Chains A and B, each alone.
Chain A
Amino acid sequence: MSKSKEQLEIKINKNWCKGCGICIAFCPKKVLGFDDNGKVNMNDRENCIKCGQCELRCPDFAIFLGGIDNE
């Protein structure tokens, strides 16, 4: 990844999330949680350190560090 951390943001594709909870359990800052549908939700964007541990172990490619500009 060539982008610096400031240009990155955690993005979630809820259509692909199956709610296994692996990303939530292994997040070192505990900023992720479940939403009302049992899928992953970013609860605390301020404290996210953008380490990418969630992306590393998501079995469903549903959470990742993506560019902040492109939507």
Chain B
Amino acid sequence: MKNSELVSKYMRDSRLPHIWCPGCGHGIIMHSIIRAIENLGLDKDKVTIVSGIGCSSRAPGYMDFNTLHTTHGRALAFATGIKLAKPDMKVIVISGDGDASAIGGNHLIHAARRNIGITTIVFNNNIYGMTGGQYSPTTPHGDFGTTAPYGNIDRPFDIANLAAAAGATYAARTTAFHATQMTNYIQKAIAHEGFSLVEAISVCPTYYGRKNKKGSAVAMMNFLKESFVDVKAAERMTPEQLQGKFLMGEFKHNTQLPEYSAEYQKIVDRLRKE
């Protein structure tokens, strides 16, 4: 057998190897998504994967489900249509940090506000990789990009908390290093009824890494290992210990609020009766 059982079952293996650079974290996240789907035992025909534009958005092309590659930032708009037309479908949106929070920023906050049953996985590599390393809304303050040759003066978005504040009922963050935890969060997010978002921190050794002298893919993975702290562990740490650390974990999990496509169906049913 040439490939693992999981790859043969869920990937369009004639399309592989993928186009992502050596050491790119996106492949690890894509692998976590198919592991989560396998663990949930979902029917491939009952899953739709939607993406926008960017490195991350190449992923659905490699995945053997119903897939849709849409316009920049608009994956959630297309996904909303799919969810309303087929409420039984598990709709998963794969988006990048720029695609989700800059170009599609409004789609993100309004999908979250409506609490529509879509799972969004944001592949956050802190930069626009596909177009050549321009700084994105998640590039850390002071870091470099092609369009920030003297350092980025912006302050970055915290995508997981942005979604939670906008109304998402499940929001979590994890990293490509913590791949088992990532599978677990993605699994919970897909099983969740309302809008769920998992911010998956990726590594971009080619652009973000090179521009910011972060070293090899292995060095960047070690950085993720050492600098991300779980929110629960962080509660017991002093401000000095938290210096230079980033938080990961589950930020929000609320199963009480109504899901949008179900609410919509109630209106349809009521008007049909009248």
Which of A28-36, A41-49, A53-61 binds B? A53-61
Do residues A70 and B179 form an inter-chain contact, with CB atoms below 8 A?
no
Do residues B11 and A20 form an inter-chain contact, with CB atoms below 8 A?
no
A18 to B22 Cα, complex, angstroms = 5
Do residues B217 and A60 form an inter-chain contact, with CB atoms below 8 A?
no
* Residue B3 lies at the interface, judged by CB distance under 8 Å to chain A: yes
* Residue A13 lies at the interface, judged by CB distance under 8 Å to chain B: yes
A62 to B5 Cα, complex, angstroms = 13
Residues of A within 8 A of B18 (CB): 60
Do residues B2 and A59 form an inter-chain contact, with CB atoms below 8 A?
no
* Residue B268 lies at the interface, judged by CB distance under 8 Å to chain A: no
Do residues B1 and A70 form an inter-chain contact, with CB atoms below 8 A?
yes
A5 to B31 Cα, complex, angstroms = 21
Asked if A59 meets B27 with Cβ closer than 8 Å, knowing A18-B17, A21-B218, A25-B221, the reply is yes
A34 to chain B, nearest CB (A): 12
A40 to B32 Cα, complex, angstroms = 21
Residues of A within 8 A of B28 (CB): 56-59
A68 to chain B, nearest CB (A): 10
Residues of B within 8 A of A22 (CB): 23, 217-218, 221
Q: Residues of A within 8 Å of B, CB-based: how many?
A: 27
A20 to chain B, nearest CB (A): 3
* Residue B24 lies at the interface, judged by CB distance under 8 Å to chain A: yes
* Residue B20 lies at the interface, judged by CB distance under 8 Å to chain A: yes
Do residues A57 and B16 form an inter-chain contact, with CB atoms below 8 A?
no
* Residue B177 lies at the interface, judged by CB distance under 8 Å to chain A: yes
Asked if A60 meets B17 with Cβ closer than 8 Å, knowing A18-B23, A55-B4, the reply is yes
Q: Which residues B18-57 have CB closer than 8 A to chain A? A: 18, 20-28, 31
Do residues B221 and A57 form an inter-chain contact, with CB atoms below 8 A?
yes
Residues of A within 8 A of B31 (CB): 56, 58-59, 61
A53 to B221 Cα, complex, angstroms = 13
* Residue B180 lies at the interface, judged by CB distance under 8 Å to chain A: yes
Asked if A20 meets B1 with Cβ closer than 8 Å, knowing A59-B24, A60-B18, A61-B16, the reply is no
A20 to B24 Cα, complex, angstroms = 9
Residues of B within 8 A of A11 (CB): 1, 4
Residues of B within 8 A of A58 (CB): 27-28, 31
A60 to chain B, nearest CB (A): 5
A19 to B217 Cα, complex, angstroms = 10
Residues of B within 8 A of A25 (CB): 218, 221-222
* Residue B172 lies at the interface, judged by CB distance under 8 Å to chain A: no
A30 to B21 Cα, complex, angstroms = 24
* Residue B70 lies at the interface, judged by CB distance under 8 Å to chain A: no
Contact sample, A vs B, 19 pairs, CB 8 Å cutoff: A15-B17, A16-B17, A18-B23, A25-B221, A26-B221, A56-B179, A57-B28, A57-B179, A59-B27, A59-B31, A60-B17, A61-B7, A61-B16, A61-B27, A64-B4, A65-B4, A66-B4, A66-B5, A67-B1
Binding site for B on A (CB under 8 A): 1, 11, 13, 15-16, 18-22, 24-26, 55-62, 64-67, 70-71
Binding site for A on B (CB under 8 A): 1-5, 7, 11, 16-18, 20-28, 31, 176-177, 179-180, 205, 216-218, 221-222
